[in-house]
Chains A and B, each alone.
Chain A
Amino acid sequence: MRTILRKLHLPIISLLLFQTITSKAQQVVVDSSLLDRINALEKQTNYIKPGDDHFMMVGLTTFGFVSNKTTMTLGDSSSIIKTHSLGDASHYEFSPMFLWRHGKKLLLEFEPSFSNGGLGVNWAAISYFATPGLIIRGGYLVLPFGTYNKRLAAGWINKFASDPEGIASATDYGIEAEGGFQAGTMKWNYDLALSNGIQLQHDGTLQNVGITDNNKNRTFTGRIGWLPLANSSLELGASLMTGKVGDAGSQNENIKATLYALDLNYVENIKPFQLNIKGQYGITDVDNTSYMNPVDSSQYTFNNHTTTGYIMASIRPAFVDNGIKNFELAARFGNYTSPAKSLWGTKDNSLAFALDYWLNWRTVLKFTYEAIKGTNTTDVKLGGTPGLVTQSNSFYLQFSVQL
């Protein structure tokens, strides 16, 4: 055995030597081609290397069809109006949104919007992420009152083709501070803004977009949010908006408006379902003053108090393994009560049902039925028809996508 090994000694060593030499030679060849490749890749990555700033465009579009039948009844007489509208006249929207980030501290948001009313701007603001728990913003802002307008109104987020009636909101020039923080297992958040101010109109309503700065007073708007559960499934919020609304130098100079709102959001996965309950209730109070009657130019007054609220629930079998998971069913109840004896006095109740089909997380096809029953509470003296009952039934087929 030993002799055999000794005899093989020399060939084995020479074989090993040969192998090392050839593999060395091979390695040299591989190395230089690798280096070339690395050089080329380095050049390429230099071109696509993310910089400190980043610009992206997102946006949304919503369009569809609505068929409406409105029956107006006063005493024994009634009339019916039927309309069909393609483009879904009151809900068509095309809004690109520009997000422009400078490093990790500055974010610019601009959302122009083409909708039924023409071309407008939903918001245009710059946010400075100052410290953990504090974001400071300036510009043209959606004021933090309730959650509907700032968080839930977008067509691809709203589970219904229509919005609940009369939700108070405002978009205005101002500054804002907001943030969220953990406290034990709970979370709190705040969103406070100071803006030019909502403006009292000649009929006692409040102008909430395209506001003219009509006085020296600023409007304060703020919301506090509370997430009491450790899994963030529940959020409760309380909001306040307050400020003088009358034109400087007019008899209404010191008239103040105060708005309150409570909101609720609950999203829980009770597998295989996802359950969602959302709601908001708001009160608008404007100090008493007198207004000019458009019929005879006399003065009249009313208790300028409006309440509005909605509650919705939806259920989606989001966690099943077949196509049914893309369907969602939703129901919403709404109420809107504007001041009696005012030019726009009404008491409306609405009920809406929706069947949605989600093509993906941000694309939805909605089928909505909504019935609104309104009772007119204006005044004959103002040219109104108190007691007029308006029953409006609408079918919507709507498509909405976030891009």
Chain B
Amino acid sequence: MKFLSNKQSNVLMLILAFIGLNAILLNSCTASEKITSKSGAQLWGENCQRCHNTPSPATFSPEKWETVGMHMQSRALLTETEKEKIVEFLKQ
């Protein structure tokens, strides 16, 4: 016996998936506090090693880091907050 047509069950699956995804996202609210409280140094440690070795802050002057920061925001598709925190850290 079939309660739902194929189309209906597809829609139902989509809705369930959507609710599921939202539940995960909402649940992660406390976890996302952990994300927002990440320091520039931590974000630098986590993100820059994804493609190449991690450069030390001593590599460039603050002005150059501002430029490289924009360049890498685009290469790595960093979020705005990540980019700002990392560049602030690298400038020190």
Contact = CB atoms under 8 A, between A and B. Distances in A.
B53 A362 contact: yes
Given A101-B70, A109-B71, A230-B34, A133 B79 contact: yes
Interface string A177-218: 011111111110111000000000000000000000000000
A50 B63 contact: yes
Interface in B3-47: 24-29, 31-32, 34-35, 46-47
Contacts of A132: 79-81
Interface in A214-258: 225, 230-233, 235
Nearest to A156: B52
Contact of B66 (A104, A184, A186, A189): A104
A6 B47 CA distance: 74
A274 interface: yes
Nearest to A129: B70
B63 A361 contact: no
Contact of A362 (B27, B55, B63): B55
Contacts of A183: 25
A230 B29 CA distance: 12
Contact of B55 (A135, A182, A361): A361
A: interface residue count bin: 35 or more
A157 B50 contact: no
A54 B49 contact: no
Interface in A85-120: 99, 101, 104, 107, 109
Contacts of B59: 361
A184 B77 contact: no
- The interface residues of chain B, by DSSP majority, are classed as helix
Nearest to A99: B67
- The interface residues of chain A, by DSSP majority, are classed as strand
A7 interface: no
Contacts of A56: 64, 67-68
Contacts of A361: 52-56, 59
A127 B79 contact: no
A156 B73 CA distance: 19
B35 A107 contact: no
B1 interface: no
B: interface residue count bin: 35 or more
Contacts of B67: 54, 56, 99, 101, 107
Contacts of B82: 180
Contacts of B51: 151-152, 157, 265
A199 B24 CA distance: 44
A178 B80 contact: no
A186 B27 CA distance: 12
B53 A184 contact: no
Contacts of B66: 54, 101, 104
Nearest to A274: B49
A388 interface: no
A185 B77 contact: no
A189 B32 contact: no
A180 B64 CA distance: 22
A305 interface: no
A85 B76 CA distance: 35
Given A182-B79, A185-B34, 7 more contacts: A107-B67, A107-B74, A184-B31, A185-B28, A230-B31, A265-B51, A274-B49
Interface of A: 50, 54, 56, 58, 99, 101, 104, 107, 109, 127, 129, 132-133, 135, 137, 150-152, 156-157, 178-187, 189-191, 225, 230-233, 235, 265, 267, 269, 274, 358, 361-362
21 contacts: A50-B63, A54-B67, A101-B66, A107-B71, A127-B74, A137-B74, A150-B75, A152-B51, A180-B78, A181-B79, A184-B24, A184-B32, A185-B32, A186-B28, A189-B77, A191-B77, A230-B35, A361-B53, A361-B54, A361-B56, A362-B52
